[in-house]
Structure 1
Amino acid sequence: MKILTNMLLFSLAFLAVTASAEIQKFGDLDVNYNVITTDTLAPEIAKAYGIKRSKNRLLLTVAVSRPDERGVPRAVTADVMAYTINMIELHRKIKMRRISEGEAIYYMGDFGFAAPDFLRFTINVTESGSGKPHKIEFQRNFEKF
Structure 2
Amino acid sequence: MVVMNPRTLLISLSLLSCLSACGGPGDSAKVPVAEPAEASSADIGNYVVHFSAQSTDQLPPTVAREYNIVRSKNRAMLNISVIRKSDNTPVTANVAVNTVNLTGQLKNISMRKIEEPGEIVAIYYVGDTTVANREVLVFDLSVKPDGEEDISELRFQRQFYTD
Which of residues 17, 29, 45 in structure 1 aligns to 2:63? Answer: 45
Q: Which residue of 2 aligns with 1:98?
A: 113
Matching of residue 76 in structure 1 with residue 91 in structure 2: yes
Which of residues 140, 151, 156 in structure 2 aligns to 1:133? Answer: 151
Which of residues 22, 28, 40 in structure 2 aligns to 1:22? Answer: 40
Bigger share in strand? 1
Provide the aligned length of Structure 1 versus Structure 2: 136
Task: In structure 2, give the amino acid aligned to 1:93.
Answer: N
Q: Is the 8 A contact 1:9 1:45 kept in 2?
A: no
TM-score by length of 1: 0.84
RMSD between aligned alpha carbons? 1.9
Please, which moves more after superposition, 105-114 or 85-94? 85-94
Of structures 1 and 2, the one scoring higher in RCO (CA 8 A, sep 6+) is 2
Give the SS at the match of 1:105: strand
Q: Is the 8 A contact 2:13 2:59 kept in 1?
A: no
Task: In structure 2, give the amino acid aligned to 1:86.
Answer: N
Which runs of no fewer than 5 residues in structure 2 stay unpaired? 19-38
| Cα distance between partner residues in 2 of 1:128 and 1:114 | 35
In the TM superposition, residue 83 of structure 1 has moved relative to its aligned partner by 2.0
Please, which moves more after superposition, 107-116 or 56-65? 107-116
TM-score by length of 2: 0.76
Identity of aligned residues (%): 32
Which of residues 7, 15, 26 in structure 2 aligns to 1:11? Answer: 7
In the TM superposition, residue 18 of structure 1 has moved relative to its aligned partner by 4.2
In the TM superposition, residue 67 of structure 1 has moved relative to its aligned partner by 2.5
Which runs of no fewer than 5 residues in structure 1 stay unpaired? none
In the TM superposition, residue 131 of structure 1 has moved relative to its aligned partner by 3.1
In the TM superposition, residue 93 of structure 1 has moved relative to its aligned partner by 3.1
Deviations 1:86-120, CA, capped at 9 Å, x for gaps? 12211223100001112211111111122221211
Structure number with larger C-alpha Rg:
2
Q: Which residue of 2 aligns with 1:112?
A: 130
Task: In structure 2, give the amino acid aligned to 1:24.
Answer: A
Q: Is the 8 A contact 2:77 2:126 kept in 1?
A: yes
Q: Is the 8 A contact 1:78 1:125 kept in 2?
A: yes
